[in-house]
Amino acid sequence: MPIGELRALQRDRLRAVVKRAYDMVPYYRKSFADAKLRPEDIKSLDDIRRIPFITKTELRQGYPFGMFAVPMERIVETHTSSGTTGKPVVAGYTRNDIDLWSEVMARALSMAGATEKDIIQNCYGYGLFTGGLGVHYGGHRIGATVVPISAGNTKKQLEIMLDFQTTLITCTPSYSLYLAEVAEEEGVDLRKLSLKAGCFGAEMWTEKIREEIERRLNLLALNIYGLTEIIGPGVAHECPEKCGLHIFEDHFYPEIISPETLEVLPDGERGELVLTTLTREGMPMLRFRTRDITALRREPCSCGRTLVRMERITGRSDDMLKIRGVIVFPYQIEKAILEMKGIEPHYQIIVTREHHLDEVEVQVEMSKKLFSDEIRKIEELRRKIEKSIEEAIGLRAKVSLVEPKSLPRSEGKAKRVIDKRQLS
Ligand code: DLL
């Protein structure tokens, strides 16, 4: 679409969504009132800068359905953000939203070359996570054959991949490498399969990881980006030129801000991505702070698409981690630890990737008293902490109790997380 037309479409859609959000969602009415803003004040695309930001915190406060902009009768599906920080963010979709999602996911899969002739093995988790059903709807829209195998069960994945002659896979980049490793162990030569492309996302990865995936799986590895708050996967996707992810900006309007000053930054500068949904009915998002760090590029892409591109995500402006695809905040682990007696408030979270799977170790300092106690008691406490962390984050972490005063002290901000996965 020519840029002029696209901008006019975005402007009209912005005005409409602002009005809908204001009329239907008490949260927006209040935030507009606080900012002394009326929906009619938003006339041009630049006026978007006057709208207050919204974050995960406000969304959680609306749990479960407080952010919905339509009566419940019109919501046909819900998903929640992964992770278990208190209450999750609940996303509601109307029938039109599912259509929109199918459309953007169809565009995404088409960028990877998918047609009705393809067999898509969809190894993203089905359920409340958006990955599974997002790909599913997009595959249907294209008319491809979707194999809804979901996550896990790696040997079965390989068997199906061989027997069905899967042509396209969708999973996290780390899982694709794990698949490759299990295939090697099982004596399956992945390069002899029919795989031609894969859409990998839901977590951070690098060019180096891409090279490894492409070499080991002998396919074209493309990056797919999205988040529950906005729609799920299908906010942006790479074309085979591999020079950034095209944002489907006729539906999702991007801005980059400085996380410190909250000022909008010029194109090309790195900062935090802020997204506004232009067409979403069930849960419109006006200026959602994603916390994901990237930059926008508007130079024409050789593929011919006029859609703006975002660079690969290289970090977060908060301390959120994605471990095995699940959102984890360090303070959830802290809370689980500090409830225990016999330990000091000194701990360190170490995240590693072993055989392409994320592993978490939490080192916790023992109190002097516990340190001189029987081994049985120490082991009992260690297990208790492991259980409490698992309950808090929904993932198993290995807990090691270390000697008093053995963890590094910091004069400034304590370095609680050591991420050894080398993702940026
Ligand atoms: O991860 C949606 C998704 C599913 C995207 C399948 C791609 C494929 P959430 O669980 O809500 O939704 O997590 C969203 O994951 O804010 C980013 O921090 C991170 N993320 C998602 N895609 C990428 C990517 C899904 N391609 C959060 N690169 C986002 C880096 C990504 N980080």
Residue with tokens 């905040």: 329
Distances (CA, A) of 251 to 50, 226, 281, 319, 354: 20, 13, 11, 28, 38
If one compares 51 and 339, the residue with the highest pLDDT of the two is: 51
User: What pLDDT was estimated at residue 424?
Assistant: 62
163 φ/ψ angles, rounded to the nearest 5 degrees: -70, -40
**Helical axes 173-186 vs 154-164, angle rounded to 10°:** 80
Query: 412 or 121, which is more confident?
Result: 121
Average pLDDT over residues 387-408: 93
Q: For residue 304, what pLDDT is reported? A: 95
Half-sphere exposure (Cβ direction) of 285: Cα atoms closer than 13 Å: 29
Residues 95, 103: Cα–Cα separation, whole Å: 12
CATH number of 1-316: 3.40.50.12780
Q: Are residues 80 and 90 in contact, defined by beta-carbon separation less than 8 angstroms?
A: yes
Residue 243 and residue 309 in contact, taking contact as beta carbons nearer than 8 Å: yes
Given CA atoms 368, 370, 374, 375 in this order, what sign does their dihedral have?
negative
For residue 226, report the distance from its CA to the centre of ligand 1, in Å: 5
Q: Rounded to whole angstroms, how far apart are CA atoms 403 and 410? A: 17
The per-residue pLDDT for 85 is 58
Indicate whether residue 83 lines ligand 1 (CB < 6 A). Answer: no
The counts of H helices and E strands in the chain are 11, 21
Which residue is associated with the tokens 């990955």? 131
Q: Is the CB–ligand 1 distance for residue 233 below 6 Å?
A: yes
On average, the pLDDT of the chain sits at 95
Fold classification of 321-423 (topology level) = GMP Synthetase; Chain A, domain 3 (3.30.300)
pLDDT in tens, 304-334: 999 999 999 999 999 999 999 889 999 899 9
Cα of 422 vs centre of ligand 1, distance in Å, is: 17
* Nearest in space to 14 (alpha carbons), one of 50, 53, 42, 49: 42
pLDDT of residue 87: 82
Q: How far is CA 12 from CA 5, 15, 327, in A?
A: 11, 5, 35
Tens-digit pLDDT profile for residues 234-264 = 999 999 999 999 999 999 999 999 999 999 9
Q: Are 123 and 175 in contact (CB under 8 A)?
A: yes
Percent of the chain scored above 70 by pLDDT?
A: 98
Question: pTM of the full predicted structure?
Answer: 0.93
Give the Cα separation of 168 and 199 in Å (integer).
8
Highest mean pLDDT among 35-39, 56-60, 185-189: 35-39
CA 264 – CA 136 distance, rounded (Å): 35
Distance from C-alpha of 82 to C-alpha of 88, rounded to nearest angstrom: 7
pLDDT at 156: 97
How far is residue 55's CA from residue 67's CA, in Å, rounded to a whole number?
A: 12
CB 232 less than 6 A from any atom of ligand 1 = yes
123 pLDDT band (50/70/90 cuts)?
Answer: very high
Instruction: For CATH 3.30.300.30, list the domain ranges present in the chain.
Output: 321-423
> Rounded to the nearest 5 degrees, what angle is found at the Cα of 180, between the Cα atoms of 116 and 303?
45
pLDDT at residue 169 greater than cutoff 70: yes
Ligand 1 nearest atom to the CA of residue 129, by list position: 10
**Residue ranges matching CATH 3.40.50.12780 in the chain:** 1-316
Pocket test for ligand 1, best of 55, 123, 313 (most atoms within 8 A of CB): 313
Looking at the CA of residue 232, tell me the nearest atom of ligand 1: 2
Instruction: Tell me the C-alpha distance between 188 and 191, whole Å.
Output: 9
Predicted confidence (pLDDT) per residue in 63-103, tens digit: 999 999 999 999 999 999 876 656 889 999 999 999 999 99
Please tell me whether residue 283 adopts helix, strand or coil conformation.
Answer: coil
Confidence grade of residue 409 (pLDDT, cut at 50, 70, 90): confident
Calpha distance 337→362 (Å, rounded): 9
User: Which atom of ligand 1 lies closest to the CA of 229?
Assistant: 11
| Residue with CA at minimum distance from ligand 1 atom 1 | 202
Query: Do the Cβ atoms of 133 and 232 come closer than 8 Å?
Result: yes
Using the mean position of ligand 1's atoms as its centre, give its distance from the Cα of residue 310 in Å: 14
DSSP E strand boundaries for 251-302: 252-257, 271-277, 288-294, 296-297
Q: Distance between CA atoms of 151 and 127, rounded to whole angstroms?
A: 11
Pocket test for ligand 1, best of 89, 199, 227 (most atoms within 8 A of CB): 227
| Contact (CB, 8 A) for 257 and 295 | no
**pLDDT digit string, tens, across residues 272-311:** 999 999 999 999 999 999 999 999 999 999 999 999 999 9
The confidence score (pLDDT) of residue 241 equals 98
Pocket flag, ligand 1, residue 284 (CB < 6 Å):
no
Predicted pLDDT of residue 400: 96
Question: How confident is the model over 216-241, as a mean pLDDT?
Answer: 98
Instruction: Provide mean pLDDT across the span 198-203.
Output: 96
Percent of the chain with pLDDT over 90: 88
Residue 54 DSSP code:
B
